[in-house]
Structure 1
Amino acid sequence: MKILTVMDRKKTKINQVIQFISEKIKTYEILPGSKLPSLRVLAKQLNLSVSTVLEAYERMLADGQLEVRHGSGYFVKNTSYIAINHSTTFEHIESDPFWVAHQSLMATKECLTPSCGWLPLDWLPESHIKKSLKELSQSSSELLLSYSSVLGYTPLRKLLSKKSNDLGAFTHHDHILLTDSATQALDMICRVWLKAGDTVLVDDPCYFNFFSLMNLHGIHVISIPFTQHGPDVEQFLRAMKQSPKMYITSSGVHNPTGASINIGTAHKVLKIAEEHHMLIVEDDVYCDFERVPAPRYALLSNFEHVIQIGSFSKSLSASFRCGYIIAKPEHIAVLAKIKIASNFNNSQLNAVLVHHILKDVQYRRHLEAMQHRLSYAKTHTVQQLKLLGIEPWIIPKAGMFLWCKLPTHISAHVLAKQCRDDGLILVTGCVFSQSDNADQFIRFNVSHCLDQRVFDILKKNMDLFNSL
């Protein structure tokens, strides 16, 4: 047995003090900028000598955790406050949207990510991007270095307006506001139309970041069951008793199910929204994945009671961020003020680059090739999953997602935790849904399911359940 010397015991006690204070700082029991207990008070509290506490404080001071104000004492370094939700334990971390996003973004090349929300890098139009970047480098200094107009780069807005009009809408390019992402667009809309305590409807299941953003704004969320043809209309109508201000949905290529609304459901939802003066926000980030466009609330209503948002991060590149909002002129006018106040301008260079790529005929051919690849990958993934007893909730007409049900005796949460140890990162149903049976579902991205290791690791860990 090792016998501690007097010096060892002294170091151990100093570390105890440091750990004690660090934990309180970490959990925000002591906030940044707050004064620490005096040397004598803490020494008495911990039953230690004043010199031990002094040495601990001095070491934390040297490490940059504390600062000393002469005549006042020791204070926690006044860094930015970041609230931490401690309700999510390690055992339930697979259902935490923030952790899931972090895991997917930080995954190494060795990890398999069959549940992520984007295409593999080699599916994206890298050669077109490099070509456009080279050509843009010869552009005028005004185009490369200056701010854009308040609404954003006009040629791109004209292109988006033409695309919308080709689908049957009637929009002018001044009805379009460019942003740096679809997420920023939704955040701006929430700032205008919502305040803390308001009620918002979302689909069940829905894109998990809707929950995160509503939580950030202090918004009450009601989840409406999403059927294979759109939201459950009876449940939607019943929710009107709660006076919701907004309905946020992805109607074309729904995330995470891949389903699309039918025209009958869309008309019923639009009628309810109009009667109750509720705004519909339609997230259309996956529109380029469709060969034949499904109905859209925005097009059917010609943007009455509907705002549409989108971006190019899924089909083009996640590296240069560019999003947009299409809405009635009076809505765009208000949102433009929010844009100036919160972000002043969007990235002109990104918008110019996006426009340059979109107008190239080669990009249209790229999209067609991508849609064919997704169709093949979907067929392959469905066949492989069925061999494991995993059934798709629906076979989508377009997009990259499959919303799949596990055998009844298998927990998605537990399976994801087991597979993570084998380098396979799954996103479980509990991230997208608050329903009782959410733990029976997993979202799969077919473009990341062409590696046989995905199914081998799934089988290995599902067999563990079967052996019990």
Structure 2
Amino acid sequence: MQTETSQTGRVMAAIRARIEARALTTGDRLPSIRRFASTMGVSPSTVVEAYDRLAAEGLIRAQPGSGFYVSATALPPLKLARTATPQARAVDPFWVSRQSLDAEDDALMPGCGWLPPAWMPEAALRKSLRNLSRASTTLLTDYGSSLGSLTLRQLLIRRAAEDGLRIEPEQLMLTASGSQALDLLCRFLLRPGDVVLVDDPCYFNFQALLRAHQVKIESVPYTLDGPDMAAFEAALTTHQPRLYLTNSALQNPTGASISPQKAHRLLNLASAHDLIIVEDEIFADFEPEPSTRLAALDGLTHVIRIGSFSKTLSASIRCGYIAAKRDWIDGLVDLQVASNFGGPSPMATEIIADVLTGGSYRKHMEEVRRRLARARREAAERLARLGIAPWNVPRGGFYLWCRLPDEVDSAAIAQAALRQGVLLAPGNIFSHARTAENFMRFNVAQMTESKVWEVLETAMRA
């Protein structure tokens, strides 16, 4: 059994890891003593002792009547967080990401952000790999062009035209991944101290990446048809943000999509406040019918479109893209050349283009949408028996954003489930304001194994 001293050290290590990873930055409030005690599975007195010791070291500071905050001198040079066991790490975005990425092949992961291997177009990918083996030596050995494969870019231009967005070839570039697309935009458009608006809740790695760029994050509540517009307008006036980052189609984690009315109002506000909107459309192909697209309404004046193929084709064959103003693309290409000496692997783009041009991709997505519709219904019914209710019934996609019964801490549930070999995604990793303590994001495609339900039921009862 662990001693109180080792438990205190574990809590201190978890806070240090958050600060090193930029999950907590200068001026951020630490989790409440009661909540963090529940997250770490220790007594409140242990957290009090850990916070007091960190305050004595100057890493955090106490503010009477308010709580503990990260000190201005706390942040070390940007580097990866220390390696730690799942139990020693705080339940933060890096905890979920690292457990997902490092899991064994047979791991149970209803908290991860991708489809199971059996749901992906394996036959089409293998066929494209065979075709690739007959490609020219140049494609197999050389760097790609600075903008990326013209063939794949032309395919993306045609796909954009289907939802009303006209893109010239010089307005579209390929990147090594969707995450790299966002990283390049942050490098190009932001400076430390700039303000960026995100939805609350939002995809947790948006927050992690923004913290790595040392910008200030402000969040706006997300509703069933888009951001809360009163809060959004107030945030523009108060914080004067440089960027707003969102999914307008099947928003992660809620599965909601923006309405046409809110989209028009949002673009009017962006124009009035010189706000740049980054619209990530990574889930667009999961919609049965296309919803409103900000980039299509705006014509790439104030909106930048990004996306990738990791959710629909393969997370192993990485490639992302950016559609933006031509002069911005010029600068972004220079930045990608400087940091990556070109775009994605020509072999990766050749495989993706080959799959997209065949009729198999359309059939694949039709089948995936049918399977997901069935999986969402079945998961929602089983979750209801545990007192877990979906916040929204999405039109598509593989997420259910759910409210747990009152007073149930989703982080504690996730810790308990992980000890039984099941990875869950608790609500507060998606909430910058940390107001989603009793929410959980479930990936319905990853919930077919009976053990998932047995572990979840046991954790909920406990």
TM bin, normalised by shorter chain, reads: 0.7 to 0.9
Q: Which residue of 1 aligns with 2:372?
A: 374
- Please list, as runs of the form range in 1=range in 2, the aligned pairs for 1:214-233 lying within 5 A after superposition: 214-233=210-229
Q: Which deviations, in whole Å up to 9, do the C-alpha atoms of 1:150-188 show, x marking residues without a partner? A: 111001000000000111111122211000101101111
Query: Which of the numbers 350, 355, 358 marks the counterpart of 2:356?
Result: 358
- State the distance in 2 between where 1:303 and 1:257 align: 25
Residue 458 of structure 1, CA deviation: 1.2
Contact 1:94 1:413 in 2 (8 A): no
- State the distance in 2 between where 1:165 and 1:354 align: 19
- State the distance in 2 between where 1:439 and 1:89 align: 23
- Please list, as runs of the form range in 1=range in 2, the aligned pairs for 1:4-403 lying within 5 A after superposition: 83=79, 93=89, 95-240=91-236, 241-346=238-343, 347-403=345-401
Contact 2:132 2:347 in 1 (8 A): no
Contact 1:258 1:399 in 2 (8 A): yes
Contact 1:412 1:440 in 2 (8 A): yes
SS in 2 for 1:291: coil
One-letter amino acid of the structure 2 residue matched with residue 371 of structure 1: R
Deviates more, 1:140-149 or 1:393-402: 140-149
Residue 290 of structure 1, CA deviation: 1.4
- State the distance in 1 between where 2:88 and 2:193 align: 27
One-letter amino acid of the structure 1 residue matched with residue 421 of structure 2: G
Residue 149 of structure 1, CA deviation: 2.0
One-letter amino acid of the structure 2 residue matched with residue 422 of structure 1: Q
Residue 92 of structure 1, CA deviation: 8.5
Contact 2:185 2:332 in 1 (8 A): yes
* TM-score, reference length from structure 1: 0.79
Deviates more, 1:249-258 or 1:106-115: 106-115
Residue 462 of structure 1, CA deviation: 1.3
- State the distance in 2 between where 1:380 and 1:203 align: 28
Residue 303 of structure 1, CA deviation: 1.1
Contact 1:252 1:287 in 2 (8 A): yes
- State the distance in 1 between where 2:262 and 2:311 align: 27
Contact 1:256 1:403 in 2 (8 A): yes
Contact 1:253 1:287 in 2 (8 A): yes
Contact 1:94 1:427 in 2 (8 A): no
Give percent identity, aligned residues only. 41
Contact 1:283 1:310 in 2 (8 A): yes
- State the distance in 1 between where 2:459 and 2:91 align: 19
- State the distance in 1 between where 2:186 and 2:90 align: 27
SS in 2 for 1:203: strand
Query: Where in structure 2 are there 5+ consecutive unaligned residues?
Result: 1-12, 18-76
- State the distance in 1 between where 2:86 and 2:316 align: 31
Count of residues in Structure 1 that have an aligned counterpart in Structure 2 = 387
Aligned pair 1:444/2:424, yes or no? no
- State the distance in 2 between where 1:319 and 1:417 align: 28
Q: Which deviations, in whole Å up to 9, do the C-alpha atoms of 1:184-236 show, x marking residues without a partner? A: 01111111110000000000000111111111110000011000100110111
- State the distance in 1 between where 2:163 and 2:460 align: 45
Residue 110 of structure 1, CA deviation: 4.2
Deviates more, 1:282-291 or 1:155-164: 282-291
Residue 294 of structure 1, CA deviation: 1.0
* TM-score, reference length from structure 2: 0.80
User: Alpha carbons of 1:379 and 1:275: their partners in 2 closer, same or farther (altered >3 Å)?
Assistant: same
Q: Which deviations, in whole Å up to 9, do the C-alpha atoms of 1:330-387 show, x marking residues without a partner? A: 2111111111111111211111111011101011101110111111110110000001
SS in 2 for 1:438: coil
Q: Which deviations, in whole Å up to 9, do the C-alpha atoms of 1:386-408 show, x marking residues without a partner? A: 01100000000011111000000
Contact 2:410 2:427 in 1 (8 A): yes
- State the distance in 1 between where 2:430 and 2:88 align: 14
Q: Which deviations, in whole Å up to 9, do the C-alpha atoms of 1:249-283 show, x marking residues without a partner? A: 11101111111111111111111111011100011
Q: Which residue of 2 aligns with 1:407?
A: 405
- State the distance in 2 between where 1:445 and 1:94 align: 22
User: Alpha carbons of 1:301 and 1:116: their partners in 2 closer, same or farther (altered >3 Å)?
Assistant: same
User: Alpha carbons of 1:217 and 1:437: their partners in 2 closer, same or farther (altered >3 Å)?
Assistant: closer
- State the distance in 2 between where 1:303 and 1:110 align: 43
Q: Which residue of 2 aligns with 1:37?
A: none
- State the distance in 2 between where 1:90 and 1:288 align: 34
Residue 85 of structure 1, CA deviation: 6.1
Q: Which residue of 2 aligns with 1:431?
A: 429
Contact 2:244 2:276 in 1 (8 A): yes
One-letter amino acid of the structure 1 residue matched with residue 239 of structure 2: Q
SS in 2 for 1:325: strand
CA RMSD of aligned residues (A): 2.1
Contact 1:136 1:353 in 2 (8 A): yes
User: Alpha carbons of 1:277 and 1:457: their partners in 2 closer, same or farther (altered >3 Å)?
Assistant: same
SS in 1 for 2:437: helix
Contact 2:310 2:318 in 1 (8 A): yes
- State the distance in 1 between where 2:93 and 2:225 align: 26
Contact 2:428 2:434 in 1 (8 A): no
Query: Where in structure 1 are there 5+ consecutive unaligned residues?
Result: 1-22, 28-80
Deviating runs (4+, > 4 A) in structure 1? 88-92
User: Alpha carbons of 1:108 and 1:217: their partners in 2 closer, same or farther (altered >3 Å)?
Assistant: same
User: Alpha carbons of 1:125 and 1:84: their partners in 2 closer, same or farther (altered >3 Å)?
Assistant: closer
Contact 1:176 1:332 in 2 (8 A): yes
Residue 122 of structure 1, CA deviation: 0.6
